[in-house]
Amino acid sequence: MTTPSGLIVVTGADGFVGTEVCEHLRGARKHVRGLVRRLTPGTAGRADYLAIGDLAVATDTALDRALAGARAIVHLAGRAHVMRERAPDPALAYHAANVVASERLFRAAQRNGVPRFVFVSTIKVNGETTGPEPFRDGDAPNPSDLYAMSKWETEQALRALAGTADVALTILRPPLVYGPHVRGNFLELWRAVARGVPLPLGLIGNRRQLLYVGNLAHAIAALVDAPAPVPGTFVIADLEAVSTPDLARRMAGAMGKRVLLLPVPAPFITAAATAAGRAAVASRVIGSLEIDAAALAAKIGPLPFTLDDGLAATAAWWRARPSS
């Protein structure tokens, strides 16, 4: 069975996920054009990267040039969750970077006859935590912060456009994505484990699923290469769910270390985090987030990497860093 050939355009190509997706596709001998806001030392002088500026205000001519000859678009660029907000109007900033930019890119895809459009959203559209049942594709949306609400608004806008266009839209909703070059809260926990910092996690009994960046890249490649388009909205995650303390132990094991987990009751963790202005972080550390990604697996097959595979790759990167 043959797979489609031709150019794949990846937005946000120099980000954490974008870099892995581009490397995965190039490793499979795909023709890739990475769109970036501006060229950097790592992308300057390379013909397979194109500086497009802000997608929300780029001209139609610039967008058409960027998408010329494309058979698929992987849309990763956008405003992610901001840990230290500086925008004078955060809601407006999220709307412009996520909703407006995505609408303009999709319209350009329609003008240029691009048949497939993969948009990476977030599981936060479903909600922050799960109860007895995992999140599934058809759940009623329950976004609770500006980032998640902007992603949900983007999904709705793209679906409305796809209903009038001959462009197959696939939406993926991943949880926290980890792997080499990871940032944010996962990197904070990883650093703490690496340094042997005692962690107050010993009494937490939650269940959470993450997504290794290699699995996300694999899924995206499978979607753009599928013999027939795979439209729809799909949740996606690594298969295994783990508790936060077990995750810390597995991190330590990947680095050849031990971790000390203190038996601190969850309400004390919540109170301390709230006092420090980090209540949302505590909620994610303590709460459960389970995902039933069977519908996507039925379309593209199982994801190839386990949690331990992803942690081993992250540990190898960590050891190779000049500052590790």
Catalytic residues: 147
CA distances from 203 to 103, 269, 275 (A): 45, 10, 20
For every residue of 188-236, DSSP letters joined together read HHHHHHHTT--BS-TT----B--EEHHHHHHHHHHHHHSSS---EEEE-
| Residue 200 CB coordination number (10 Å) | 17
What residues have CB less than 8 Å from 9, skipping those under 6 apart?
32, 33, 35, 66, 67, 70, 72, 73, 74, 114
Residue 43 and residue 57 in contact, taking contact as beta carbons nearer than 8 Å: no
Give the C-alpha separation, 57 to 63, whole Å.
Answer: 10
What residues have CB less than 8 Å from 240, skipping those under 6 apart?
209, 306, 307
